[in-house]
Chains A and B, each alone.
Chain A
């Protein structure tokens, strides 16, 4: 009797896990990667306009979220594993190369996908989360009592603590942002909360995950970075500073009047930015000669 919030069109067993996805339209493929604690449904305002503009849109529920598999062990949420989910899904769908778009954790996955597999990436668009090599963390003063706590507290927070007293702590952390009314209902499904928290338990934060690996391969794809002024967790420098890791062309857009959830708060602007960017630039040359040691 409830309206199910889903646009899913299929599901595939790839990389050892069931991944549910939207596959809609014909044309150059665009892969849309959501973050925490969303699903493909984060992109509901962008999917149809992209399809109408002649793209084939692939929007998976990343592992642990939505209708995809939800392993309960932390190790299953290593970033490389999740990147491989996306690789395996695109291979399964017969897509050798795609535009990659990501928000939040999905942006972290998109960055990693782009520098590990440059030949599989056409254009790269990242929302909210900058390149993992940029060290940028808001000071205590800049953080408001809001969902920034996701980043800094979730690794130590238990499922039981978040759920008790009618999900009070979770609601306090989320405030009124994103799909805040939907999230607890999604996370209350069997195993969903543990799976979602495992992203944090396995990887600390989207930004810090790869910090220890000082030498990142350059991002060759033309890259669009989008950040919103209402983001309480992430600083603009995190995004603008990403330029030095991008060898392809770099564009930066700052969006006003949007919380961290830019695709929900400014749906038309996000659609417009994507349509004005995807497929418009040439990639930097893939280095062909081996570097001399």
Chain B
């Protein structure tokens, strides 16, 4: 027998940052919400752990920012870009705390803990949160349907609207006929560690050396999320036994102060190592249709190297929640603003991600030379760092010239 849930306004499929924030906001605004999450309890499955100041502003608007702070988010204040072409002592540092008024620097946080708190907030606001929801299936239409199984029991809801927020898996998207064009520029790996007592917790590191683009995002108390982006050809490098060890050992880098000793000799894993192709995804059909709206990575995303995935998710959620709480028209036409804004935003993020990936995630002597030249240009004229602004301010606030072929061509051309 199937349990039928009646009187549901919105079913949110996927309890990540996008889905849980939507559920918390909609429930707060008095809608009847069911949130489906497939995990029984939130675990570290190595999802995004860095959120830009502009994403935090979206979280404030949605009323979910406290979940970050209480879930272990740590405000990072400085960004130092290291490189094999630069002496560690010469590496430049940017103060990240002043880009968005009312918000400090970006935050790094244990993703699963923040999701758990957001889901809890949704529940406190009156949403029904189903952990361990299996085989969720969505049928689009003016009377959409969602079926799922929980503890061996079949469930059914006929909400007014379904929000698909299942991330890169695009589970809901595939069920309702949205396919993705994809491209892979490189691979990446991530590991959460502790013990970085000698690494300055105010400083996030990014840099390129050899065949690695490395990142250290402090989470306070000596914890940090480490990432390495590497060429697709090296994707077996960290697989198999002792992969974590090799991953951490690879933070021995000439471009870091003291050869990165504060990381490679101290880091102890406190989560699994995950490896993934850094996919950019472009939806091939509309992400809004009768009865279904897709948000977050499920709606298409830029290369993870940019670090804007979570900010995008919250921007999506905010836009969709504004429609759902702002009036009675939930037809596809009501989401035109969301679609237009998202297209504009993603065009800019894809453009920026291409530049960042070409600059920092390509390897070998020619790529190093390219970085050296670009760094020279940036030193000469700060405006050449315009792409980096995408990590701080929303895409619409980044100057237009940063998205021109002319700019990209100048940044990368062989001779000055």
Contacts and interface: CB of A to CB of B under 8 A. Distances in A.
Interface of A: 1-2, 163-168, 171, 175-176, 180-181, 184-185, 188
B70 A168 contact: no
B72 A165 contact: no
A165 B104 contact: yes
A176 B66 CA distance: 20
Contact of B70 (A164, A167, A175): A167
B107 interface: yes
A1 B72 CA distance: 18
B69 A1 contact: no
Nearest to A183: B70
B221 A166 contact: no
B120 A166 contact: no
A168 B123 contact: no
19 contacts: A1-B119, A1-B120, A1-B129, A2-B116, A165-B75, A165-B105, A166-B65, A166-B68, A166-B75, A166-B109, A167-B69, A167-B70, A168-B75, A168-B104, A171-B74, A175-B221, A185-B70, A188-B66, A188-B69
A266 B326 CA distance: 55
Contact of A2 (B75, B105, B120, B220): B120
Counting chain B residues whose Cβ lies within 8 A of the other chain, the interface size class is 20 to 34
Nearest to A166: B69
A2 to B, nearest CB: 6
Contacts of A185: 70
B73 interface: yes
Q: Which of B68, B123, B221 has the most CB of A within 10 A?
A: B221
B74 A168 contact: yes
Contacts of B120: 1-2
Nearest to A184: B70
A198 to B, nearest CB: 21
A188 B65 CA distance: 12
Most A CB atoms within 10 A — which of B65, B66, B68? B66
B74 A166 contact: yes
A175 B119 CA distance: 27
Contacts of B105: 165
B73 A166 contact: yes
Contacts of B72: 181
Nearest to B105: A165
A165 B221 contact: no
Contacts of B393: none
Given A168-B104, A171-B74, A175-B221, A184 B123 contact: no
B31 interface: no
Contacts of B109: 166
Nearest to B107: A166
Contacts, number: 45
Given A166-B68, A188-B69, 16 more contacts: A1-B119, A1-B120, A165-B75, A165-B104, A165-B105, A165-B107, A167-B69, A167-B70, A168-B74, A171-B74, A171-B221, A175-B221, A176-B221, A180-B221, A184-B69, A184-B70
B375 to A, nearest CB: 30
Contacts of B75: 165-166, 168
Contacts of A167: 69-70
A165 B57 CA distance: 11
Nearest to B102: A164
Determine the main DSSP class of B at the interface with A.
mixed
Given A165-B103, A166-B68, A167-B69, A176 B222 contact: yes
B131 interface: yes
Contacts of A2: 116, 120
Interface in B73-123: 73-75, 103-105, 107, 109, 116, 119-120, 123
Contacts of B107: 165-166
B356 to A, nearest CB: 25
Contacts of B221: 171, 175-176, 180
Contacts of A163: 69
Contacts of A1: 116, 119-120, 123, 129, 131
Nearest to A2: B120
A249 to B, nearest CB: 41
A174 B123 CA distance: 30
Contacts of A175: 221
**Which of A1, A164, A165 gathers most chain B CB within 10 Å?**
A165
A-B pairs, 9 with minimum CB distance: A166-B69, A165-B104, A176-B221, A165-B75, A166-B73, A168-B75, A167-B69, A185-B70, A184-B70
A247 B304 CA distance: 68
A164 B65 CA distance: 10
Interface in B200-253: 220-222
B104 A164 contact: yes
Q: Indicate the member of A164, A165, A166, A188 with the most B CB atoms within 10 Å.
A: A166
Contacts of B123: 1
Contacts of B119: 1
Interface string B127-143: 00101000000000000
B77 to A, nearest CB: 9
Contacts of B73: 166
Contacts of B129: 1
Nearest to A175: B221
A165 B56 CA distance: 9
Interface in B23-66: 65-66
A191 to B, nearest CB: 15
Interface in B315-340: none
Nearest to B108: A166
A163 B103 CA distance: 12
Nearest to B41: A1
Contacts of B116: 1-2
Contacts of A164: 104
